[in-house]
């Protein structure tokens, strides 16, 4: 059974810092991995999707890497801003295929202080 873990559970940093969020998964036979952002009480916004054949994906100040063999992914946020404050979730497909059946980690709650 696939299990996804995120460390740390919460993180507080001053504005401008570069930071790394970690995600680990137990079954390396994944089809892809997604990072989501969730604002309090809201739905999920997809940030980045990395296919199993890729090593990383970039979008603006965000960079996500994937190491399938070690069962790890990292989300790097450059020059953090107060608007980045949110919960960040990583997820992998439930059954080693794509689509909308996902297993999520518990999330990292990020606070960026002005």
Partner 1 sequence: DAGVTQSPTHLIKTRGQQVTLRCSPKSGHDTVSWYQQALGQGPQFIFQYYEEEERQRGNFPDRFSGHQFPNYSSELNVNALLLGDSALYLCASSSRVARAFFGQGTRLTVV
Q: Which residues bind partner 1 (CB under 8 A)?
A: 4, 6, 34, 36, 41-46, 49, 89, 91, 94-95, 97-107
| Residue placing its CB nearer to partner 1 in the complex, 5 or 28 | 5
* Burial class of residue 60 in the structure, from the number of CB atoms within 10 Å of its CB (0-12 exposed, 13-18 middle, 19+ buried): exposed
Provide the minimum distance between the beta carbon of 25 and partner 1 in the complex, in angstroms, as a whole number: 12
Half-sphere exposure of 34 (CA within 13 A, CB side): 19
Provide the minimum distance between the beta carbon of 36 and partner 1 in the complex, in angstroms, as a whole number: 8
Tell me the two tokens of residue 87. 């919960």
């Amino acid at each position: 059974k696939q299990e996804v873990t995120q460390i740390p559970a919460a993180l507080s940093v001053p504005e401008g810092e570069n930071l790394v969020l970690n995600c680990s998964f137990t079954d390396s036979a994944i089809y892809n991995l997604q990072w989501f952002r969730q604002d309090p009480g809201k739905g999920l916004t997809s940030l980045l999707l990395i296919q199993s054949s890729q090593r990383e994906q970039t979008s603006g100040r965000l960079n996500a890497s994937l190491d399938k063999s070690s069962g790890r992914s990292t989300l790097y946020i450059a020059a953090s801003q107060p608007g980045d404050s949110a919960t960040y979730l990583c997820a992998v497909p439930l059954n080693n295929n794509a689509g909308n059946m996902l297993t999520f980690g518990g999330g990292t709650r990020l606070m960026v202080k002005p």
